[in-house]
Amino acid sequence: MLVNVSLNSNFSMRSLFVFLSALTFLFGCRVLDKGTRRLEKQLNRKGIFAHDFRTDSLNVHYWKGGSGPAILFLHGFGGDAMLTWRKELIALSKTHTVIAPDLLWFGESEAILAPNLASQRKAIEALCTSLHIDSVAIAGQSYGGFLALDLAVSGKIKATKLLIANSPGTTFHQEELDKVRTAYQVQTIDELFVFDKPELLQRLINLSTYSDPKIPRKVAAQLYDRYFSKHHIELRGLMQSLPLEQQRFNDPSFFRKFKMMVLWGEKDELFPLAEGKFFAESTGARFEVILKCGHAPQMDDHRSFLKLVKAFLE
């Protein structure tokens, strides 16, 4: 039976875990602060800079650089735009105008709005309008994939191309999600992704990555403090409101009019490979599999991911 999945979101954190584990040996206890500054400098050297788009009700922190056709990168439920997409921003800024926002209640973005996908969509539409962008290619991973689909349906910003990574839209089989709950012994999926103890972060890492990197306790505590300790009410709201909002784009055939590619990590534990294939077939999208990757293939195998993206954008 096909149902609207209650959570497709919290899995684009591979960059955080692998990156922070490596930096532990370089920087010691204040890994996050020093590591973040290092990444910011990398982006700045390539002409990609951080900005803030503000209104009375929201602040969207975003990265922008490059020139040429615009491409919008939407991260998943965890981390932020810089840590998720920095390699793609650097590589594609040579040929495109790259834009990567922190979604509301992630990273440095926040709002006094209802915590739902509609608020996310309207914030991104307002951002693009402020940048005088009326057409854009959209790349969305996991929760960002849902947002990409919603933007395409809305049509206020013309989606020239859609690239969806490990995000099964509305064609997901609920029994697969139930298997995850059973395996991790939780009553609801929310428990896996919104939590109040740093030590529970390792459980989420094991669920969302292919190689299950082990995060030192001090790093996990810092990671939790920066990325997981805030906005619990809003984050739960995003999860709980998603099934109803999916009704706005519950007809997969609608997306057949777009040039669309669905990318999938072969070893995705959250959404098995068959789910990605079914979603691609339902939408008429090109389907590509990256071997030996988990839920965030752009982190597990950046080179293969980027090669496919570049070919798709040509």
Q: Is residue 5 part of a domain?
A: no
Please give the pLDDT value at position 220: 84
Q: Is residue 6 part of a domain?
A: no
Q: What is the pTM of this model?
A: 0.89
HEC profile of the chain:
CECCCCCCCCCCCHHHHHHHHHHHHHHCCCHHHHHHHHHHHHHHHCCCEEEEEECCCEEEEEEEEECCCEEEEECCCCCCHHHHHHHHHHHHCCCCEEEEECCCCCCCCEECCCCCHHHHHHHHHHHHHHCCCCEEEEEEECHHHHHHHHHHHHCCCEEEEEEEECCCCCCCEHHHHHHHHHHCCCCCCHHHHCCCCHHHHHHHHHHHCCCCCCCCHHHHHHHHHHHHCCCHHHHHHHHHHHHHHHHHHCCHHHHHHCEEEEEEECCCCCCCHHHHHHHHHHHCCEEEEECCCCCCHHHHCHHHHHHHHHHHHC
Alpha-carbon Rg for the chain, nearest whole angstrom, is: 18
Q: Is residue 7 part of a domain?
A: no
Q: Is residue 175 part of a domain?
A: yes
Tens-level pLDDT at each residue, the chain (314 residues)? 233 333 333 334 444 455 554 444 444 445 567 778 888 999 999 999 999 999 999 999 999 999 999 999 999 987 799 989 999 999 999 999 999 999 999 999 999 999 999 999 999 999 999 999 999 999 999 999 999 999 999 999 999 999 999 999 888 877 888 888 888 888 888 888 888 888 888 888 777 778 777 778 878 888 888 888 899 999 999 988 988 898 889 899 999 999 999 999 999 988 899 999 999 999 999 999 999 988 888 888 899 999 999 999 98
Please give the pLDDT value at position 120: 98
Which of 227, 205, 207 lies closest to 216 in space, CA to CA?
A: 205
Q: Structural domain tally of the chain? A: 1
Q: What is the CATH number of the domain that holds 281?
A: 3.40.50.1820
Q: Is residue 239 part of a domain?
A: yes
Q: Is residue 112 part of a domain?
A: yes
- Segments forming the whole domain that contains residue 175: 14-313
